[in-house]
Structure 1
């Protein structure tokens, strides 16, 4: 929603902006190692409070950025701070719910979390128009502080058991080992492209596509992106219910959702060349949001593969792939945009979804 003014004020190109914003998921992925250890060693509440404080600092750094290097610092700190936004509640659910209920509640958690995307559509467009993009970062800092207050008042958990016999290095090695283990290999492979597509389509290139290719102003473009946002809110809850109802075929559901999301991206890009109207984009963005939301099945597959006491480490291993893939593919999309425009950037995510899904189908793993 602010790509054009960010490029102007920071003095970067479109692919440079993609590289800068790619630092967020890269830092997020790297933070998964210590976050996974902290969740199992110290518990959800202290980990969440520490990370929310870091996120608030990162948002302030983003608001104060005067050039690409200071923005890079802000993105890295934000990535570290935000690394627990999904992992903390999901790990809390994994430790306190039986496996047969985890898929449903994992979907509910992600659906509730995605409601925040409502703020980054039309409301963010209006904020940028009237107060500038820096105001968006200040708003994020205030939200992080509010979330920290809520966690401190609401979350209750038993004190995490001490693990004196294990060193920090051993815990970190276990996360790395889990990330390549036979049990988790399949969901980790498909996760590499899954969240990258959400960040790429909804977060980075959806706005420029609607504004530069379809000729919409900022606020109307934000209104169109609301369709995708609502789908990303409803979709995870529906995905959690489908996972619970059709557990024997949940791998097939996951694969079908990702292949369908890739098809929606490619159809939208093709529609730009064919002159399809904005209504077609709204429909395809909605379909993309609903189909890619079946990614919540990844969490259920990982949870089914490990005992509760290893849930934090296992989920962190998968989240490393979620956000590591986002960092890699976001950088690749920036390079594609510099050569073939926004359509080429979007196509990078479609191709990645197809490739990772086909590999996922050939790998053994939890069912």
Structure 2
């Protein structure tokens, strides 16, 4: 929603902006290792409060960024701070619920979290139009403060489970070992492209596609992206219910959702060349949001493969792939955009979804 004014004010090209925003998921992925250790070692509440303080600091740094390097620092700090936004509630659910109920609640948690995307569609477009992009970062800092107050007031500080005497280094090595293990290899592979596609289509390139290729103004483009946002809110809850109802075929559901999401991207890019109207984009973005939401099954697969006391580290190992893939593919999409335009950038995510899904289907793993 603010790609054009960010490029103008910070002196960035399209691929430079993609590389800069890719620092956020890169820092996010790197933070997963210590966050996973902290969640199992110190508990959810203190870990969440520290991360929210870091996220608020990153938002303030973004609001005062004067050039590419200061914005890079802001993105890195934001990535570290936001690394627990999903992991903290998901780990809490993993520790408190039996595996057969975790899939449903994992979907509910992600659906509730995705409601925040509503703010980054039309509301952000209006805010950028009337107050500038820096106001968006200030708003994020206030949201982080509000979340920290809510966590400190409402969430119970349950003590972490007692563990054998282990060093922090041993816990960190366990996160890495889990990420490379046979049990988690399949969901980790498909996760590499899964969240990258959400960030790429809904986060970075959806707005430029609608504004540059389809010729929409900022606010109407935000309105179209609301369709995708609503789908990303409703989709995880539906996916959680499907996972609970059809546990025997949940791997197939996950694969079909990702291949369907790739098809939606391909059709949207093809429609741009064929002159399809904006209504087609709204339909395809909605379909993309619903189908890619089946990614919550990844969390259920990982949870079923480990005991509760290792849940934080196992889920963090998978999130390294979720956000590491986003960082890599964000950079690749930037190079594609520089060479072939926004459509080429979107096709990067479609190709990654297809390749990672096919590899996922060939690998053994939790069912």
The interval holding the TM-score normalised by the smaller chain is: over 0.9
1:16 maps to what in 2? Answer: 16
Pairwise mapping of residues 53-202 of structure 1 onto structure 2 (< 5 A)? 53-161=53-161, 163=163, 165-202=165-202
For 1:64 and 1:35, the matched residues in 2 are separated by 27
Give the deviation of 1:158 after TM superposition. Answer: 2.2
SS in 1 for 2:159: coil
For 1:177 and 1:271, the matched residues in 2 are separated by 44
2:264 maps to what in 1? Answer: 264
Runs (5+) with no aligned partner, structure 2: none
For 2:332 and 2:275, the matched residues in 1 are separated by 26
2:213 maps to what in 1? Answer: 213
1:204 maps to what in 2? Answer: 204
For 2:130 and 2:164, the matched residues in 1 are separated by 54
SS in 2 for 1:324: helix
8 Å Cα contact 2:99-2:304 kept in structure 1: yes
For 1:41 and 1:169, the matched residues in 2 are separated by 12
For 2:47 and 2:216, the matched residues in 1 are separated by 42
For 2:156 and 2:98, the matched residues in 1 are separated by 18
Give the deviation of 1:164 after TM superposition. Answer: 6.2
For 1:33 and 1:299, the matched residues in 2 are separated by 17
2:331 maps to what in 1? Answer: 331
Q: What RMSD in Å do the two structures reach over aligned CA positions?
A: 0.6
1:28 maps to what in 2? Answer: 28
2:227 maps to what in 1? Answer: 227
1:248 maps to what in 2? Answer: 248
2:353 maps to what in 1? Answer: 353
Give the deviation of 1:249 after TM superposition. Answer: 0.1
For 1:186 and 1:340, the matched residues in 2 are separated by 32
1:237 maps to what in 2? Answer: 237
| Cα deviations by residue, 1:186-245 (Å, 9 ceiling, x for unpaired) | 000000000000000000000000000000000000000000000000000000000000
Give the deviation of 1:332 after TM superposition. Answer: 0.1
2:364 maps to what in 1? Answer: 364
For 1:22 and 1:133, the matched residues in 2 are separated by 18
1:322 maps to what in 2? Answer: 322
Give the deviation of 1:48 after TM superposition. Answer: 0.1
1:40 maps to what in 2? Answer: 40
1:301 maps to what in 2? Answer: 301
SS in 2 for 1:176: helix
Q: Normalising by structure 2, what TM-score?
A: 0.99
Give the deviation of 1:81 after TM superposition. Answer: 0.1
SS in 2 for 1:276: coil
Give the deviation of 1:263 after TM superposition. Answer: 0.2
For 1:171 and 1:209, the matched residues in 2 are separated by 43
Runs of 4+ residues deviating >2 angstroms? 161-164
| Cα deviations by residue, 1:284-303 (Å, 9 ceiling, x for unpaired) | 00000000000000000000
Give the deviation of 1:160 after TM superposition. Answer: 1.6
For 1:334 and 1:161, the matched residues in 2 are separated by 44
Give the deviation of 1:161 after TM superposition. Answer: 3.9
| Cα deviations by residue, 1:82-121 (Å, 9 ceiling, x for unpaired) | 0000000000000000100000000000000000000000
For 2:165 and 2:298, the matched residues in 1 are separated by 31
For 1:164 and 1:50, the matched residues in 2 are separated by 25
